[in-house]
A and B are shown apart, each in its own frame.
Chain A
Amino acid sequence: MALERTEVEKIAHLARLGLSEADLPRTTETLNNILGLIDRMQAVDTTGIEPLAHPLETTQRLRADAVTESNQRDAYQAIAPAVEEGLYLVPRVIE
């Protein structure tokens, strides 16, 4: 199944990736080539096969519900693009 350019625009939006009009044809073509490779999967008979999510089939460990981390807000905000008084700044969301 080949993607149309409107579908590629929708995928880019879902992924929050800006995509220019000029890039659309090439991106659509490349994605369709990759999907062509992926679609070879559909010929494989997987009837009755359980999906494998983890190679060792272990489940996530649980830990005790105890405080293990200290507050490192200043260290983490030191590398943020824009902060003020301990808050991350973004463009106005609510008018």
Chain B
Amino acid sequence: MMKDSDMHNLTLAEIARNLAEKHFSAEELTRTLLARIEQLDPQLNAFISVTDELAIAQAKAADARRAAGENGTLLGAPIGHKDLFCTQGIRTSCGSKILDNFKAPYDATVVERLAAAGTVTLGKLNMDEFAMGSANESSYYGAVKNPWDLTRVPGGSSGGSAAAIAARLLPAATGTDTGGSIRQPAALTNLTGLKPTYGRVSRWGMVAYASSLDQGGPMARTAEDCALLLSAMAGFDAKDSTSVDQPLDDYLAALSQPLAGLRIGLPKEYFGAGLDPKISDAVMASVEELKKLGATVKEISLPNMQHAIPSYYVIAPAEASSNLSRFDGVRFGYRCENPVDLTDLYKRSRAEGFGDEVKRRIMVGTYALSAGYYDAYYLKAQKIRRLIKQDFVAAFEQVDVILGPTTPNLAWKLGEKNADPVSAYLEDIYTITANLAGIPGLAMPAGFIDGLPVGVQLLAPYFQEARLLNVAHQYQQVTDWHMRAPAGF
């Protein structure tokens, strides 16, 4: 039998092999990881809820299914969910006081599908409140720490998922990405994270932030594990009105495709002012590795990239102001004490229940949508959105994938960007365009600077998740950045 001290280092794919060969049971693995979470998470604050009873029950059920002859690759696989995926009977807080007492009455489609595949839910992971943030500091449950340096942020908004995986508290987790919230924390914590094409993964039961941008996806240490999770998460769902009815690729089979002849585009706008030169060097080193595998490289241009952030900070807050109007203190969630009338109930429940960043974005969105401003803001932003999409469509006529840095800077110090929200918004410069255009994007580990991880981002045309996972997997066969673990974990 494998020692408890080794189990936490296994990937999902390795866990599947060990479970199939009966080196340990799902229950033994689950108990080992729950003990590790109890021991180490106080340093990180990655979990909002640890669902130990559910986990043990699911692990026992997975062991029983295996004993009865089933052998699915995710049968008994321990994972966590970002705390905005609804989990029936379990708190789904969205990192907010307003949902602190909210036990979802149903499971999100993603949660349901992964559970049906036999995954074991170890807990619900910390996040920026309503997924609004790039540092995981806006959570009602406190900031998450980066396991590579506990004085630094893990990125956000899926910061709890990222920190927990990087610290080997669990091998994989779900995340969501509205402007970079899977890819940016993956980059800052040395993980692989995939934002699928808009509509590829069901949004049903995923608490909405900006509905035309939100997309759930997998986070793990390897591309192979992301492929395993995506295979179970993705696919048409009649309950999500924007779900796309298109067959899934075989993500696992695609991993082994050789990269000979792959055309990589390097957008000159991604390597300009604002990028840490050391990150640029690390990214270019990854390009050299991919060339050795047979890829060719070409400079391309995405001229409208610079307009993405202003456009995003209209569209996302506008949609958020509409989506978050459901939190009214009447049907679920937080209600203020002793309201004097209905307006007081609404205003105080929302003022006391939402944090500062959420209130800011609701107000920006309310303003942008208010009478007389719609054309100047929301419509203008949507026109820029088309320009950004057109840039990608033109680029993908010349290249198969686009490669660049995931973030302009390394993980920053806790609190460093809190005084000025606009400075934190600018950190999303390289990731936001994929959400506006709706194309898939992947972040993968590509080295370290002063002990902090660097991420490379890959972008592909619509529905080419398999290509992204393939490129990352092939890169991970010839590099070992993704295998490195932070000291102390």
Q: Residues of A at under 8 Å CB distance from B?
A: 3, 8, 11-12, 14-19, 27, 30-31, 33-42, 44, 46, 49-56, 58, 60-61, 63, 72, 75-76, 78-82, 88, 90-93
At the interface, is chain B mostly helix, strand, loop or mixed?
Answer: helix
Pair B366/A56 contact, Cβ less than 8 Å: no
Q: What 3 pairs between A and B have smallest CB-CB spacing?
A: A55-B438, A18-B351, A51-B382
Residue of B nearest to A83 (CB): B331
Which residues of the partner chain A approach B351 to less than 8 Å between Cβ atoms?
17-19
Q: Are B330 and A81 in contact (CB under 8 A)?
A: yes
Say whether A50 contacts B386, CB under 8 Å. yes
Evaluate whether A18 and B350 lie within 8 angstroms (CB atoms) in the complex, with A41-B307, A80-B331, A91-B339 already known. yes
Inside 8 A of A78's CB, which chain B residues have their CB? Answer: 105
A3 → chain B, closest Cβ, in Å? 8
- Kindly supply a per-residue 1/0 record for chain B positions 406-450, scoring 1 wherever the CB is within 8 Å of any chain A CB and 0 otherwise: 000000000000001110010000000000111100000000000
The reply to whether B347 and A46 contact each other, CB–CB distance below 8 Å, is no
Q: How many residues of B contact A (CB 8 A)?
A: 72
User: CA A27 – CA B304 in complex, angstroms?
Assistant: 30
Residues in A with CB closer than 8 Å to B212 are 53-55
Contacts of B332 in A (CB 8 A): 76, 79-81
Alpha-carbon distance between A88 and B345 when the two chains are bound, in angstroms: 13
Q: Distance (Å) between the CB of B382 and the closest chain A CB?
A: 3
Q: Indicate if B301 sits at the interface (CB-CB under 8 A).
A: no
* B379 in contact (CB, < 8 A): yes
A-B contact pairs, 16 of them (CB 8 A): A15-B363, A16-B343, A18-B348, A30-B421, A34-B313, A38-B313, A38-B368, A41-B381, A44-B304, A52-B385, A54-B242, A56-B199, A81-B330, A90-B330, A90-B339, A91-B344
In the complex, are the beta carbons of A75 and B105 less than 8 A apart? yes
Query: Residues of A contacting B310 with CB < 8 Å?
Result: 37-41
Q: What's the least CB distance linking A93 to chain B, in Å?
A: 6
Once the chains are docked, how many angstroms separate the CA of A18 from the CA of B359?
Answer: 10
Q: Kindly count the residue-residue contacts between A and B in the assembled complex, taking CB atoms under 8 Å apart.
A: 166
Counting chain B CB atoms within 10 Å of each CB, which of A41, A53, A88 scores highest? A41
Q: Flag if A56 contacts B438 (CB, 8 Å).
A: yes
Residue of B345, B364, B382 near A52 (CB, 8 A) is: B382
Q: How far is the CB of B157 from chain A (nearest CB, A)?
A: 18
Q: Can you list, as one digit per residue, whether each of B208-238 has a CB less than 8 Å from chain A (1) or not (0)?
A: 0000100000000000000000000000001
A78 to B360, CA, bound (A): 31
Whole-angstrom CA separation of A88 from B342 in the bound complex: 12
CB neighbours of B462 from chain A (8 A):
55-56
Interface check B328, CB cutoff 8 A? yes
A50 close to B364 (CB less than 8 A): no
| A27 surroundings in chain B (CB, below 8 A) | 359-360, 363
- Across the interface, do B363 and A12 meet the contact criterion of CB distance under 8 Å? yes
- A37–B313 CB distance below 8 A: yes
Q: Is there a chain A Cβ closer than 8 Å to B370's Cβ?
A: yes
Q: Within the assembled complex, what's the spacing in Å between the Cα atoms of A30 and B436?
A: 24
The 8 Å CB contact of B386, one of A30, A49, A60, is: A49
Interface contact A52-B389, CB-CB below 8 Å: yes
Q: How far is the CB of B375 from chain A (nearest CB, A)?
A: 10
Are B387's CB and A44's CB within 8 A? yes
Residues B362 and A49 in contact, CB atoms below 8 Å apart = no
**Do residues A15 and B321 form an inter-chain contact, with CB atoms below 8 A?**
yes
